[in-house]
A and B are shown apart, each in its own frame.
Chain A
Amino acid sequence: MAVAKSQVGSKAASTDGRKPAARAAKASSARTAGAKSSIAEFSRDEEFAAYREMLLIRRFEEKAGQMYGMGLIHGFCHLYIGQEAVVVGMQLAIRNGEDQVITGYRDHGHMLATGMDPKGVMAELTGRRDGYSRGKGGSMHMFSIEKQFFGGHGIVGAQVSLGTGLAFANRYRKNDRVTLTYFGDGAANQGQVYESFNMAELWKLPVIYIIENNRYAMGTSVSRSSAQTDFSKRGLSFNIPGEQVDGMDVRAVRAAGERAVEWCRTGKGPYILEMQTYRYRGHSMSDPAKYRSKDEVQKMRTEHDPIEQVRLRLIDKGWASEDDLKKVDAEVRDIVNEAADFAQNSPEPDASELWTDILK
């Protein structure tokens, strides 16, 4: 029966031998690139901004999940819930709209963090003409030249070579932009990742490889797939420095991001950041997530939630009242609801779109 099938291979889920994310902020690297162990605190405004950005992603993704359930979104839809601090922290470390960002298919959070319009993203999810790709890309394939967001790629690992090429273009043009290339713990086992590492270090390309280690590639835990589970060391044989970062703490992410950006901008070559994070939802919408225990998920949610951490700090420090935060919540909900309405009311693409954009 279906139930039994989904449980196949669900060996104890928490055997990946990894340190809890919250304790893993120290740099352990091939070369030390000036890593600091103390976390730079955020100012009130920074905390507020991070809170709002992360909440926007969370609520957007919840809405997307809900709309999927209603049959308004179809196909593969990979939610970013739980991992919000990674993109939001990294985006605080770069020049938004100038430095490039590229990732795989779990991409809604990256798009929102680069400032892409939630309406256009949601309308792409519903496959309508006002979507970023005019309905022809879907959840996994959106792009924005304006925001320097280069997708949105469905082949696990492909974005790593592509991102290295974006960095190559920066070096070719002799500008000082950097490229953030995101990929998963599963993608980190693809051959082209190492082909790219080699070329990036060989040619000193300004690319930051951000490995979003959410502990699972679909149903395969890191310990079941990886001989070296410390992903910050994956560049060791190429002399690429790496750090393990608490990817649930937006401050730690930004601090590590700033170190990496500094390294890349000053021509020292690539840098690896292993972001220790967690996805709360299934791999995609159709994943019953039987490969991990409920306790494991619950523990991450209650003890390490990236948004809750910021919320508590804002309250503790007297920087915000519950009412202030409710106001932010309401604002964010409005944006998301507006995006959802927009995405449902935008028409499907014209049938003639079938034949356009094949060649320029």
Chain B
Amino acid sequence: MPIEILMPALSPTMEEGTLSKWLKKEGDSVKSGDVIAEIETDKATMEVEAVDEGTIGKLLIPEGSENIKVNTPIAVLLADGEDASAASAPPAKDEHSVLEAAKNGSGESGSAPAMNGAAVPAAPAAIKAEIASDPDIPAGTEFVTMTVREALRDAMAEEMRRDADVFVIGEEVAEYQGAYKITQGLLQEFGADRVIDTPITEHGFAGLATGAALAGLKPIVEFMTFNFAMQAMDQIINSAAKTLYMSGGQLGASIVFRGPNGAASRVGAQHSQDYSAWYSQIPGLKVVVPYTAADAKGLLKAAIRDPNPVVFLENEIIYGHSFEVPKLDDFVLPIGKARIHKAGKDVTIVSFGIGMSYAIKAAEQLAAEGIDAELIDLRTLRPMDIDTVIASVKKTGRCVTVEEGWPQNSVGSEIASQLMEKAFDYLDAPVLKVTGKDVPMPYAANLEKLALPTVGEVIAAVKAVTYR
């Protein structure tokens, strides 16, 4: 049966083209791979190669013709023994229409349901509905005072005892005991096979660890600080976060990327960036930013067990802060659940990580002035527990967000936007953001102080939204 040669699409965007030149004429024989014509696309002149063998029976489109739509028959190829009269035989109709149908995404064959114009289905509620509350802490549970540093170390050690697939990898995590001493003692307990010092090679070891996670291990990747994880950003986002989706659910990465994030103190612009908002934008990641030692412990344990990639943002300044942590055998907290740090009725202050330290001090001073603030510690930025924020704002009618990161497209910007959509009628004042200033972090002591948010700014914002 004669084969129709169709006007081919030769680039992702081509819809039509010019048939600039025939390189074969009627009666010529062609082999697979022979160039038969030249076509001008929207981008370039391209050669059309024959796919099948045969003899050119008829050229249906004269050379020089413009605006030939993709898939228009341009020639007829005859198989051995067929004569030219077969060339006028009607084209193989059924096959062609199936192709057309498939291309248009519709058609009787029912093979390809129409998508064009179909409304995008809303995110199923299940994605966010299933997050459990914090576990009940049994009455009489002993609380011990410990630093965030110790809590993080204990979380890793407990999970490593529990699961042999968990290992720690990063710069100075083993022999040096951690650049910030978070991995103290892990090498001694778990050995060099599971506590692994790397060369200074963030891109490489983030990729290596992600590969190990694809193979089913559960790496904890420590970045000396998240500033250096910019070198590894591609592997975190393009490999760790997207593979589950790109594989249709076949293959994912259970991996934690953790380390200190944000400004330390007097270390200048390249060592002082807050990446909270950056990572919180990426579907396929979970992003945790704990403040208290209890949250650091319970959430890191959850992050290590989580089958998804989790970016776990710590803060150098609060490593040494002490908090009460319940003494329980297995204290695991839910990722994706905010915590009401302090209930109140006049205004909602939303923060996370070190931002909480400004918020807490501000709330104390505000209380002395008769303003009763509700403090929400988001703890997780992705998935964000916006419901808890909305419920609070419905009560208080006012909201201030606090973070050290830059103002544009900040976490606060996201909260303000969500409140506009979901709690507009409950707002008695615009949502205000307190953020780091829109500048690289300066070194000088006075300038650094100015660049960071202050308790005073939080208080001023609260007074503005409460009209005091």
A-side residues, CB < 8 A to B, are 2-3, 5-6, 62-63, 65-66, 68-72, 74-76, 100, 102, 126, 128, 131-137, 141-145, 150-155, 158, 160-170, 172, 191-192, 195-196, 198-199, 202, 280, 285-286, 288, 290, 301, 344-348, 351-352, 354-360
Contacts and interface: CB of A to CB of B under 8 A. Distances in A.
A358 B207 contact: no
A154 B109 CA distance: 33
A163 B212 CA distance: 8
A161 B201 CA distance: 11
B121 A288 contact: no
14 contacts: A70-B70, A131-B248, A143-B246, A143-B251, A155-B234, A164-B207, A172-B212, A195-B204, A199-B201, A286-B10, A344-B98, A344-B111, A351-B115, A355-B124
**Interface size band for B:** 35 or more
B51 A66 contact: yes
A199 B51 contact: no
A245 B173 CA distance: 40
B6 A169 contact: no
Among A5, A135, A152, A285, the one with the most B-chain Cβ atoms within 10 Å of its Cβ is A285
B329 interface: no
A347 B102 CA distance: 9
A65 B248 CA distance: 24
A196 to B, nearest CB: 5
Contact of A70 (B42, B71, B252): B71
Contacts of A345: 98, 109, 111
Contact of B124 (A72, A133, A352): A352
Given A155-B234, A164-B208, A345-B111, A3 B245 contact: no
B212 A136 contact: no
A198 B204 contact: yes
Given A167-B211, A347-B113, 12 more contacts: A3-B44, A63-B51, A71-B71, A102-B211, A135-B248, A136-B246, A137-B246, A199-B204, A288-B44, A344-B102, A358-B244, A360-B308
B199 A155 contact: no
A359 to B, nearest CB: 5
Contact of A169 (B215, B247, B283): B215
Contacts of B123: 355
Contacts of B110: 347
Which 6 residue pairs are nearest across A and B when measured between Cβ atoms?
Answer: A165-B211, A161-B207, A195-B204, A69-B8, A286-B11, A134-B248
A152 B246 contact: yes
Nearest to A190: B203
Contacts of B344: none
Given A66-B51, A133-B247, A359-B284, A158 B111 contact: no
B283 to A, nearest CB: 5
B442 interface: no
Among B6, B48, B250, the one with the most A-chain Cβ atoms within 10 Å of its Cβ is B250
A65 B46 contact: no
A198 B199 contact: yes
A102 B251 CA distance: 13
Contacts of B213: 165
Given A161-B208, A357-B245, A357-B249, A351 B121 contact: yes
Contact of A142 (B32, B124, B214, B247): B247
A165 B208 contact: yes
Given A100-B215, A160-B207, A166-B212, A70 B111 contact: no
Interface stretch (B58-66, B84-92, B178-186, B235-243): B235-243
A62 B51 contact: yes
B199 A199 contact: yes
Given A150-B214, A344-B99, A145 B250 contact: yes
B184 to A, nearest CB: 23
B71 to A, nearest CB: 6
Contact of B245 (A68, A168, A286, A358): A358
Nearest to A203: B196
Interface string B15-45: 0000000000000000011000000111111
A149 to B, nearest CB: 10
B113 A348 contact: yes
Among B32, B113, B249, the one with the most A-chain Cβ atoms within 10 Å of its Cβ is B249
A277 to B, nearest CB: 17
Nearest to B123: A355
Contacts of A301: 33
A314 to B, nearest CB: 20
Contact of A158 (B12, B70, B113, B238): B238
Given A2-B42, A198-B204, A165 B209 contact: yes
Given A142-B247, A143-B250, A358-B245, A165 B115 contact: no
Nearest to B240: A162
B47 interface: yes
Contacts of A68: 8-9
A158 B207 contact: yes
A3 B206 CA distance: 42
B205 interface: yes
A142 B251 CA distance: 10
Nearest to B114: A348
Given A192-B204, A348-B112, A359-B244, A2 B44 contact: yes
B250 A144 contact: yes
Interface string B113-127: 101001011011001
B136 interface: no
B121 A161 contact: no
Given A158-B207, A301-B33, A348-B115, A72 B44 contact: no
A71 B109 CA distance: 17
Contact of A6 (B44, B109, B211, B243): B44
Contact of B210 (A162, A286, A344, A355): A162
Given A62-B32, A195-B201, A70 B9 contact: yes
